[in-house]
A and B are shown apart, each in its own frame.
Chain A
Amino acid sequence: PRPIMPAGKDTSSSDARILLMLNMVTIEDLVDDDEYGDLYEDVKDECSKYGALEDLRIPRPVKKDKSSNMSMQDAQRIDEAAGVGRVYVKYLDTMSASAALNALAGRSFAGRSIIATLLSDDSQTTPPLN
């Protein structure tokens, strides 16, 4: 597979207006409703500084309670497919998305350094936005 490369000025991503952020939230941060609401506002406030948002998704894990028969492995698979642990921000235009990338990549969020990349609308790695 291709190695991970620093974001460059490649023309192929010129229509990219989705900012994907990794290493920002953990499953544990997303379980409690109050904490989730708080975290969502934190992300929304900051991301809005770089342009108008069309969509913001922070996928949450499936409920793991004793009453459901779901195994831990199944739950984990569903969470992974849903993109839990990732943050997707869709801007109205590409300029905003690249401004956000420049500003937010490497910033710390709850003590974690954000990894960020830009995706175009037809990207295969955006489950919650489809």
Chain B
Amino acid sequence: VDSNAPRKRRSRWGEAKTEIPGLPTAISAAGVSQVQLDNYAIHLRLEEINRKLRLNDFIPPERERYRISASNLFSTHIPTDFLYIRSPSPPPTYDAHGRRTNTREVRYRKKLEDERIKLVDRAMKNDPNFRPPVEYHQQKRSQRPSD
């Protein structure tokens, strides 16, 4: 094997299996509708997000931090199969006290919180009996401009 062979492209696959109690991941589709399957997926993802936020476990490990739309970030085409590309961090922003407001922690947390809002909105549309998690209301309130 040529030691100069291109490194393998970064993979999105993680090794670990995580099960949330009461929410199986290997499921039976017998007698289950599309909508029901989708609602179940939303439900499990919401639980997953809540857990990650609660446990402060939302910064993906380096090897799973796959690139985001490389074609938009680089003007020349780079054969991405041959490179590890890390999406560049946005320029730092600061609050009135000079504290940085967009650290990696803040950005990844915000990403999950935004996803949670979207998921809850979808779930409420699909299922009138759906009751959003408490965090959803707190977050919606804090995002709304003060009136």
Task: List the A side residues contacting B25 at CB < 8 Å.
Answer: 105-106, 113-116
Task: List the A side residues contacting B16 at CB < 8 Å.
Answer: 107-108
B34 at the A/B interface (Cβ < 8 Å)?
yes
Task: List the B side residues contacting A111 at CB < 8 Å.
Answer: 14, 60, 64
Out of A5, A32, A124, which one reaches B69, CB within 8 Å?
Answer: A32
A122 at the A/B interface (Cβ < 8 Å)?
no
A4 at the A/B interface (Cβ < 8 Å)?
yes
Closest to B58 in A: A111
Task: List residues of B (38-66) whose CB comes within 8 Å of A's CBs.
Answer: 38, 40-41, 44-45, 48, 60, 64, 66
Q: Which residues of B contact A (CB under 8 A)?
A: 9, 11-20, 24-34, 36-38, 40-41, 44-45, 48, 60, 64, 66-72, 80
B30 touches A107 (CB 8 A): no
Question: Nearest chain B CB to A47's CB is how many angstroms away?
Answer: 10
Q: Please, could you name 19 A-B residue pairs with CB atoms under 8 Å apart, sorted by A?
A: A2-B32, A5-B27, A6-B24, A7-B27, A13-B30, A20-B37, A23-B44, A23-B45, A31-B69, A32-B72, A35-B71, A38-B9, A41-B9, A80-B38, A105-B27, A108-B64, A113-B17, A114-B25, A116-B25
A118 at the A/B interface (Cβ < 8 Å)?
yes
A34 at the A/B interface (Cβ < 8 Å)?
yes
- How does the 8 Å CB contact mask read for A1-24 relative to B, with 1 for contact and 0 for none? 110111110101100000010110
B36 touches A1 (CB 8 A): yes
Complex: A45 Cα to B13 Cα, angstroms: 10
A125 touches B29 (CB 8 A): yes
- How does the 8 Å CB contact mask read for A31-43 relative to B, with 1 for contact and 0 for none? 1111100110110
Out of A4, A105, A114, which one reaches B32, CB within 8 Å?
Answer: A4
A13 touches B69 (CB 8 A): no
The secondary-structure label for the interface of chain A is mixed
Complex: A116 Cα to B109 Cα, angstroms: 27
A102 at the A/B interface (Cβ < 8 Å)?
yes
Task: List the A side residues contacting B11 at CB < 8 Å.
Answer: 42, 45-46
A109 touches B27 (CB 8 A): no
B36 touches A4 (CB 8 A): yes
Task: List the B side residues contacting A23 at CB < 8 Å.
Answer: 41, 44-45, 48
Task: List the A side residues contacting B72 at CB < 8 Å.
Answer: 32
B18 touches A113 (CB 8 A): yes
Question: Nearest chain A CB to B95's CB is how many angstroms away?
Answer: 28
Complex: A61 Cα to B40 Cα, angstroms: 21
Task: List the A side residues contacting B30 at CB < 8 Å.
Answer: 2, 5, 10, 12-13
